[in-house]
Chain A
């Protein structure tokens, strides 16, 4: 038996490795976007791919997101598997018409004759000190569009496994990369990167008995930190990492809430019309008789994303999460 030393790797490195492995495994996989070639992307996720696979496989496109996604549609129509990089969350908006009117519904329009296996990578969320238009949480827009899968990793291993699964999927996948976790490190062996995760499965990141924190992407580490801090208050919190917003893993989420009887949904995206409302409704529909308190939400405020010097007041943090946990009607217990 050989033991492989696990080295710390960053999420960005795992994503690069996933792209590289996918390109090596399938010549139909093409990476395209702004600055993905010589520069390796503004977050360096495509580092070295143009050099290794050539500029025809890893292509610097003109600076036009609708054009990038629109041409990716045509490439997919001809049998390629484009992996499109949108440089930042808010810069993906020009591509919305292509995404909503074509990418999401081409399979449906053509009765299955023309599926579009396109992966759209979008760095999203705040907490990196980005100026205006660099920190949006745009997942609610994507979730509201039938025909798309929407996934987001929170760990280094999931970044690899979920991106491989997204590229292998015959359906379009919006792959949301939490910007502030790009440089998060974890023990991970790139030579044995772990399983390709099936899209649509949530995972219990931390088991607990008192209440469930339902979260995803950049808010997962925050919730884990909150769960540790909660021990001092006598709460043993369970943390569910959704990983996939579409499809939504009702079973894992409902099983957790039935065990704990209480739930808080945590995300950076605004609360009004945000993912938390849908999640709270789904939990309530399935777990009503198990709930000891209403499902609460800790979300970003319903404001345009704030300037970097104020963003810490906007982002859900440990204290705000613990405040919500405190409001889960514990008096009924005593």
Chain B
């Protein structure tokens, strides 16, 4: 008997009981970015940690300046600077244990270096002598990732795999404000929350995706609010306040490690330099805005806090600068040497075993190189060296 046939007996009932699957209130971010420096909370921060953060910020800024200079001299193909964002870069690296994993984007060379990666190896991609210049397993830093947000699902998968294996490992993935518009951002956060994977997403909201401002990127109340839709907590932090970023990330990492699942952290910061050396930022933003952010500089903020509290004196400042200069001098010297290139490397790691087709192509290139070398030798013998 159909519903229509049993009309006499049929009584409409309310829909089955419904309730939200999670209480959204605890997932919501604060109404304004969390700060530590210059507030009463700062007194509780660990002085040793603050001094370490300071030294790394100074070193990081010098690294950005040196890499930018090397790009102008033609030693790097391109350099996306993180000047102004050093607090995020450094805190992301320092908050992790050795066994944890960092998933950087192309702007996060500094985080990789702060995690312990060799400064020259970290620049391999941007120098252009190979794609990834380091073994990711060595410092548990995934390859610097150029396609936006595509490294986020990798971080989720790795964290999930570690948890399945019973390992106490957290993955921290870095992405920019522009990257939050990508589908992979959405899919990564969704998978992470469903799997309760021990992963932390740090969005460095530096105001621009190359030239496009955040207003054209999203209509969300904040990027941190996006977390609520996935059922994970969102945190909003002042991205130029190294102590605050370190604390918020530290809480999120501890939460993940304890089995509490993922967290989305939005750090509000500013990209002081252009997108890369090839970009012209004057076409899309004014000097006044940049100056506003220069006045909220991550190094100045921390230096002021430390000196006010007597935790840093002129000698300490000078020592940090000297260490940074030494790093820069070493970087200059090593980057000014031409990298050793072997064209036959092109075929070395396409497959575990080269296919017969690649072997043929490899032989062709080898023959071309040998013919070129012979021609050079002949020319030398005739005294018409090229």
A residues in contact (CB < 8 Å) with B: 30, 56, 61-62, 64, 66-67, 69-80, 94, 97-98, 101-102, 105-115, 146-147, 149, 169-171, 200, 246-248, 250-251
Contacts and interface: CB of A to CB of B under 8 A. Distances in A.
Contact of B187 (A67, A73, A200): A67
A110 B356 CA distance: 22
A111 B188 contact: no
B10 interface: no
A70 B356 contact: no
B59 interface: no
B183 A78 contact: no
B143 interface: yes
Given A94-B183, A113-B136, A247-B355, A108 B350 contact: yes
A126 B183 CA distance: 29
Contacts of B162: 78
A288 B147 CA distance: 43
21 contacts: A62-B190, A66-B184, A67-B153, A67-B184, A70-B187, A71-B153, A71-B157, A74-B160, A75-B160, A80-B164, A102-B154, A106-B143, A107-B351, A110-B349, A111-B348, A111-B349, A113-B135, A113-B137, A114-B135, A114-B143, A247-B357
A74 B143 contact: no
Contacts of A101: 147, 150
Report the 9 A-B pairs with minimum CB-CB distance, sorted nearest first: A74-B157, A70-B153, A67-B187, A71-B157, A247-B355, A74-B158, A78-B161, A74-B154, A109-B131
Contacts of B348: 111-112
A101 to B, nearest CB: 5
Contact of B161 (A74, A109, A111): A74
Nearest to A64: B187
Contacts of A76: 157
A70 B155 CA distance: 9
A77 B142 contact: yes
Interface string B155-175: 111111110110000010000
Contacts, number: 138
B130 interface: yes
B161 A79 contact: yes
A77 B154 contact: yes
Given A30-B164, A114-B136, 11 more contacts: A70-B154, A70-B184, A73-B157, A75-B157, A77-B157, A102-B150, A108-B131, A111-B132, A149-B351, A200-B355, A248-B357
Nearest to A109: B131
B106 interface: no
B159 A74 contact: yes
A291 B135 CA distance: 50
A90 to B, nearest CB: 17
Nearest to A106: B143
Nearest to B153: A70
A35 B287 CA distance: 54
A75 to B, nearest CB: 4
B341 interface: no
Interface centre among A69, A78, A108 (most CB of B within 10 A): A78
B190 A250 contact: no
A3 B355 CA distance: 39
Interface in B107-151: 130-132, 135-137, 142-143, 147, 150
